Amino acid sequence: MLRYLLLRNPGHNRVYYLESEKLALAELTLTLHRLEQTCASIESVDLVGVNYLSFIVEKSLSEYDLAWLSRLSFIFALFVQVVGDESNLKPVALNPPSHIDPKISMLLKYGGKTNEIFTRMMINVGLLSSDYSFTDSIQLLDPVAGKGTTLYEAATSGFDVTGIETERKMVHETTLFFKRFLEEEKYKHSLTKHSMYSSSTGQEAFIQLFEYAPDKQAFKSEIDRKHLAIIAGNAIHSRRYFKAEKFHLIIGDLPYGIAHGNKGKKKHTSRTRSPAELMQTTLPEFHKILKKGGCLVLAWNKFVWPREEFAALLYTTGFQVLDADPYDQFTHRVDQSIKRDIVVARKP
């Protein structure tokens, strides 16, 4: 029998790290269900004053299993020991995805930014809870893209990603940032812009579409050439922008009503503290554009909208809400005014 021990990333945000053990254990539990062999004794342990998350298996993990573990949002290092021989701890090589340099998310610094480790966890939880795998050609949507943290984290995994953002200034800044990044990292890339639609009311949406690859040869390949798009528009019009059942994953960090806000469908609706109005208008749209077996993962501030009301709305819209253990372990305090949780819902 072998015990694997995972050392957590110390992270860049001490408050998040102190709250993160139960989140990491929940993410690990979901990941272990995807491995090729049964795992037992999933727990947090301390060895010589150092905290690890650990589990026991009968034999060495396969490359496929290690690929799943390498994707964990929190993992910093992995070790293995024979059960009963605590004096012998051997390091195990990890192979985290790096289709673009993971440093891209850390380069962004701005008020209200979501911790990139938490963002990575949301993406992982969505993929693990879906019918799909990292070996599939994943299409991901962030309907509240902001300055693109979710897009960059998903692009690092090799996913094709699309974001929707209402603030055109943010769309412009995101476009400039990603273009500069591709240029500095010497990626072969192209950028096109075109209108999505316009209406008699004067509403218009346009898309900035990047296609990119590490070099010219890869750029010629449909498989190796990746896409990152950001739409200056509104998530309430999602079905106008996309065909039905386009996305495997919809991942978003909803406005907290603190540093952020949200805009509803009513013409003169101001920014509000609760995302309830936004969800009432957008969830039916999300249901249409999400693939069967796909997953929706949204983070929000529980202080401004009870989880029970959010879950009830998802059920009404046709989603299956996943709320049994470990899905009930993701609530955590960010600061005095934000108690963040994530809701995970599948399209049956």
Give the pLDDT confidence of 282-341 residue by residue, as tens digits.
Answer: 999 999 999 999 999 999 999 999 999 999 999 999 999 999 999 999 988 877 888 899
Please classify residue 107 by burial: count the beta carbons closer than 10 Å to its beta carbon, then call 0-12 exposed, 13-18 middle and 19+ buried: exposed
Domain end, chosen from 71, 92, 113, is at: 92
Q: How far is residue 116's CA from residue 343's CA, in Å, rounded to a whole number?
A: 18
**Count of domains in the chain?**
2
Same domain, 17 and 141: no
Give, in order, the Cα–Cα distances in Å from 12 to each of 86, 162, 258.
30, 26, 21
Same domain, 266 and 122: yes
Residue 83 · residue 53 · CB < 8 Å: no
Structure confidence at residue 198 (pLDDT): 55
Cα 315 from chain centre: 22
| Residue numbers in the chain where pLDDT is lower than 70 | 11-18, 110-113, 198-203, 257-273
Same domain, 51 and 116: no
What is the percent of the chain with per-residue pLDDT over 70, rounded to a whole number?
Answer: 90
Same domain, 60 and 129: no
For residue 301, the domain's CATH number is 3.40.50.150
pLDDT (tens digit per residue) in 218-227: 999 999 999 9
97 part of a folded domain: no
Structure confidence at residue 89 (pLDDT): 92
Same domain, 268 and 145: yes
Domain end, chosen from 65, 92, 119, is at: 92
Cα 87 from chain centre: 37
216 part of a folded domain: yes
For residue 15, the domain's CATH number is 3.30.70
Residue by residue, DSSP assigns 13-50 as -HHHHHHHHHHHHHHHHHHHTTSSS--EEEEEEEETTE
Give, in order, the Cα–Cα distances in Å from 254 to each of 8, 146, 172, 214, 312.
26, 10, 21, 32, 17
Domain range for residue 87? 2-92
Query: Which tokens in the block code for residue 2?
Result: 């072998």
pTM: 0.92
Same domain, 172 and 224: yes
Domain end, chosen from 34, 67, 92, is at: 92
Give, in order, the Cα–Cα distances in Å from 313 to each of 130, 132, 266, 281, 297.
20, 25, 19, 11, 14
Same domain, 77 and 109: no
Same domain, 304 and 339: yes
Which runs of consecutive H residues, i.e. helices, occur in 53-108? 63-70, 103-107
Same domain, 81 and 154: no
98 part of a folded domain: no
